[in-house]
Structure 1
Amino acid sequence: MVLAGPPAASLRAGRRIDYAHPVPGFVDQALVVRVWDWSETSQTVSLFCQERGLLRAVAKGARREKGRFSGGLDLLTRGEVVGIQKSGAEMATLTDWTLQEIFWAGRNDLKRHYTGLYILDTIQRLLSEADPHPKLWNQALKTLRRMEEPDVDVGAALLEFQWILLVETGHRPDVRGGRFADTETMGFDPQAGGLISDPGAGARDNGPWRVRLETVRLMRSLEAPASSEADSPEAGESGDAVDRANRLLATYIGWLLGREPPVLKLLFPSGTSPRVRKT
């Protein structure tokens, strides 16, 4: 749901500006990725901003019903944020938050809820602060919006997001062929970041992991942007292939982080990764 709100200029209208002691301010679009209660009326938040990247901030008075923060900041929402970033300060100070979009599907459907939490969690864990990734921001927003559609393939939407996340953070999986002949079963080595020949049934928990050719071909289709909805991962691909590809990329992300994100076991309850079963 997209909510209409006043522009930042009108939010700031009527406030005194201290021209003698200017403080660097900013206005940005943001997704809320984490929230902590700081006091009865205030919050500390982690935001994924379109232009500023990952941002930690204090929102004083955010939980007051008649404050300037739309009643507080919540996960699975998008809004316009206004704040101040002082030089050398660990956290910014938010002065305004205008709620513009609520992703209701992530609150009303368990699978979409876990998918949304996983998206937010991996963004926070893989990105560094003040490192803008506008393409990843757009993809995260696109994925959350796609999950609002009643008939969307949530697994396909997640797969596309995970691929862009790895590419944008410098961890693009190398799934190209040509170095060795394709076989029905190959391997994925997380240390090398790509395919290897079949490691055999004795593959170790920390890699390499066995992967089916069908899964490899699906990931190769993600290398080139889709020219239409018919070219998206959900078109013409079996649900099992999408699920296996998601598990592989999620396991690779967990390997990069040094541990699996806690929500992963909820997102894939029948086996959290290729370490449990052949991908």
Structure 2
Amino acid sequence: MTGSAMQEPAYVLHRRPYRETSLLVDVFALNAGRITLVARGGHSAKSPLKAQLQPFQPLLLNWQGRGELKTLTQTDVRQGPVLRRTNALYSGLYINELLQRVLPVGDPHPELFANYIETLRALSEAQDIEPVLRRFEWAFAKAMGLGFQWSESTDTGRPVEPAGFYGYDPEQGIVAHPSDTTRLNGLRGDVLLALSEGDLESPVCRRLAKRVMRVLVDHLMQGRPLHSRSLFSHGRGESNES
């Protein structure tokens, strides 16, 4: 893989020390998708890159190199929303971990990139973060090829009936005839239809959407734990929204 970029919009997902004075930086970029950059000297005490290469910070990056590992050559910082509250910060770390650990390397997702920007803005403003997370998880599932319609059963191709009960499987979506291997069962049709209309306010819709998205995300993670989830359960009394 060869390539370079000039003034590419990007966000840092994760960074870690590399060799003696450098950083390895996983970024989500508009046109390049998820890639890993070497920030040479970025881990040294006097490097400005330590302050610049922060999660949730809008950046314009230049890089060059062959193979999957590129060399960062220029960083320009832009203004963006700030995640000041604890639950907003933890939520941002959660979606960053999803992107870093699930997105294929070098696979562009411009629509998801736009959704990520909107999610950061919403997290910086919203007091109620749960609907924000559910909408991002839905956009992420769609980008990964696992999107589905709340209002239609995939095994019959028929609309969901308000009085019916349904199942959910990550590979199939909503199903009218669950099997022994279907991950979730007993999902109320009226609630599924409310979710299809965007209802993430009523408690019953929130509970069902959270159950479905938890199963979907666990499927995408292939059984690996999400470290950011523990932040919600151990952080300053915040409820687990993810």
Whether the TM-score (by the shorter chain) exceeds 0.5 is: yes
Residue 133, structure 1, aligned to residue 109, structure 2:
yes
After superposition, give the CA deviation of every residue in 1:207-261 in whole Å (9 maximum; x if it has no partner). Answer: 1344233541243135xxxxxxxxxx55xx3245235313421321212321242
Residue 143, structure 1, aligned to residue 119, structure 2:
yes
CA shift in 2, pair 1:218/1:120, >3 Å: farther
Q: Which residue of structure 2 lines up, in the alignment, with residue 254 of structure 1?
A: 218
**Residue type matched to 2:25 in 1?**
V
TM-score (norm 2): 0.80
Q: Which residue of structure 2 lines up, in the alignment, with residue 26 of structure 1?
A: 5
CA shift in 2, pair 1:33/1:198, >3 Å: same
Q: What is the aligned-residue RMSD (CA, Å)?
A: 3.0
Residues 82, 96 of structure 1: 8 Å contact kept: yes
Aligned ranges 1:45-194 → 2 under 5 Å = 45-64=25-44, 67=47, 69=49, 71-86=51-66, 89-101=67-79, 103-105=81-83, 108-149=84-125, 151-177=126-152, 178=158, 181-183=161-163, 185-194=165-174
CA distance in 2, matches of 1:70, 1:102: 18
Normalized per residue, the structure richer in strand is 2
CA shift in 2, pair 1:171/1:191, >3 Å: closer
The unaligned stretches of length 5 or more in structure 2 are 153-157
CA distance in 1, matches of 2:205, 2:3: 49
Aligned residues: 230
CA distance in 1, matches of 2:230, 2:215: 11
**How far is 1:40 from its partner?**
5.0
**Residue type matched to 2:69 in 1?**
M
**How far is 1:43 from its partner?**
0.6
Residue 212, structure 1, aligned to residue 188, structure 2:
yes
The unaligned stretches of length 5 or more in structure 1 are 1-22, 223-232, 274-279
3-state SS in 1 of match to 2:124? coil
CA distance in 1, matches of 2:162, 2:203: 22
CA shift in 2, pair 1:145/1:220, >3 Å: same
**Residue type matched to 1:165 in 2?**
F
**Residue type matched to 2:11 in 1?**
L
CA shift in 2, pair 1:243/1:264, >3 Å: farther
